[in-house]
Amino acid sequence: VAGKRSPVVIKIGSSSLVEATTHRLRSGNIESLTRQIAALVQAGRPTVLVSSGAVAVGTPRLRLPARALTIPEKQAAAAIGQGMLMQEYEKAFSRMGLTTAQVLLTRDVMGDRRRYIHARNTLTTLLEHDVVPVVNENDTVAVDEIRFGDNDTLSAHVAGLVGADMLILLTDIDGLYTADPRVDPEARRIDWIDNLSERYARMAGRSGSRVGTGGMKSKIQAAMIATRLGIPVVIAKADRPNVILDALAGEPVGTRIAAAGRMPGKKRWIAFSSAAKGAVVVDRGAVSALVDKGRSLLASGIVQVTGAFGAGDVVLIRDQAGTEIGRGVVNYDADDLRLIQGMKSEDIVSLGISSRKVEVIHRDDMVVYENAGARGGK
Ligand code: GLU
């Protein structure tokens, strides 16, 4: 955001916004949240709020018997609850002299670079005008394949989208514990994580509350995305007084997770936001050229092409054992690529297909993972 400090993204979960049994809004938490955000914005710190709670607050209005909701029922509840939530935020923020804006995103926005840039420009414009964007998934149109699954992941993507320098995940527990503190008296809070690994995801286990869909596991997964985008993460308890301001001041309010290296914007998008349309399988020579030597991918190293994609789409790069070693923006469509796979660049030129680029995936449009399975890019 031009002329301003980097934004901060704050995510609050359903369990902190809605009472588990009565499904009523927890106005105390909303009031404290908006007061702290107002203090930030007034101090020149642009702030994005990612708020869950639409399904939880909308559900009672459907007057359904007590049972698990079907997908259309959840989507209907979200449509009811989203308006109720916004009304609450609108009231609370306007008392602080601030304007709010509703931004509903879906997974496919993140997978399409043009829509991604539009979403980013909209959010940036709002922040430039001291408006507080309130973001949620567009639950009404979300279907399985395009769901974020949970707003923790959404908030990590949003943090990347706006170039945030911190993501604060507010929930009903004050951080990650070595074991479930509700059942294990030995459990202790982890205050600082330097190098977030899968080990912590296992530690987070399947913990979760009755309201919302996240739990600690999805927070750690979201933190994996954010920290690899270069954004530090704090997991803290929503109803701790001044939790946001204290977290930003570096106080030990919960679990703080350090950022990993920072990637350039386009690579970030390739690594974390883009939906792959297909895959190329490459031989051992190409694996070593990509992983060890940092080269571009040429047709000669490709042994197989799967999926239907066009030039400009993102594809996965796999080794012959099937392990994903990276991903990138491909310069050829799937049909052309099948024609030229295994061929040397000079022969491709004589075929007349290669009017554009000799590289199938240029180095600058590619992310190669540090180690197989991990999503850190080089
Ligand atoms: N988008 C859902 C809602 O607002 C919540 C998803 C989540 O809990 O992470 O109800």
Tokens of 176: 């990650």
Pocket test for ligand 1, best of 55, 144, 216 (most atoms within 8 A of CB): 55
Q: Which atom of ligand 1 is nearest to the CA of 77?
A: 10
Q: How far apart are CA 14 and CA 192, in angstroms?
A: 25
The secondary structure of residue 166, as a DSSP letter, is E
Tokens of 323: 């392990």
Tokens of 140: 């009404």
pLDDT tens-digit map of 186-202? 888 999 998 887 778 77
pTM value is 0.74
Q: Which atom of ligand 1 is nearest to the CA of 137?
A: 1
- Reported confidence tier of residue 262, pLDDT bands at 50, 70, 90: low
Distance 56 CA to ligand 1 centre (A): 8
Site residues for ligand 1, CB cut-off 6 Å: 13-14, 52-56, 78, 136-137, 139, 150-151, 212-214
Of residues 270, 255, 135, 160, the one with CA closest to residue 207: 255
Task: For residue 347, count other CB atoms closer than 10 A to its CB.
Answer: 13
- CA terminus-to-terminus distance, the chain: 26
Q: Which residues contact 328 (CB under 8 A, 6 or more apart)?
A: 270, 297, 314, 315, 317, 361, 362, 365, 366, 367
257 has pLDDT over 50? yes
Tokens 């022969």 — which residue? Answer: 347
Residues β-bridged to residue 171? 237
Q: Is 285 strand, coil or helix?
A: helix
Cα angle value 267/234/83 (rounded, 5°): 85
Q: Which atom of ligand 1 is nearest to the CA of 139?
A: 1
Answer positive or negative: Cα dihedral of 213, 209, 57, 152: negative
Distance 215 CA to ligand 1 centre (A): 12
Q: Is 327 strand, coil or helix?
A: strand
- Reported confidence tier of residue 376, pLDDT bands at 50, 70, 90: very low
Distance 54 CA to ligand 1 centre (A): 6
pLDDT tens-digit map of 80-139? 999 999 999 999 999 999 999 999 998 778 778 888 889 999 999 999 999 999 999 998
Distance 14 CA to ligand 1 centre (A): 7
48 has pLDDT over 90? yes
Ranges 122-126, 144-148, 335-339, 343-347: which has the least confidence: 144-148
Task: For residue 117, count other CB atoms closer than 10 A to its CB.
Answer: 13
pLDDT tens-digit map of 136-161? 999 888 766 545 558 999 999 999 99
377 has pLDDT over 80? no
Give kind and range of the element (H or E) at residue 128. Answer: helix 113-128
User: 353 and 340 in contact (C-beta within 8 Å)?
Assistant: yes
pLDDT tens-digit map of 272-325? 777 889 999 999 999 999 988 889 999 999 999 999 999 889 999 999 999 889
Of residues 269, 348, 277, 353, the one with CA closest to residue 310: 277
132 burial (CB, 10 Å; 0-12 / 13-18 / 19+) is buried
Q: Which atom of ligand 1 is nearest to the CA of 85?
A: 4
Ranges 20-24, 55-59, 172-176, 323-327: which has the least confidence: 20-24
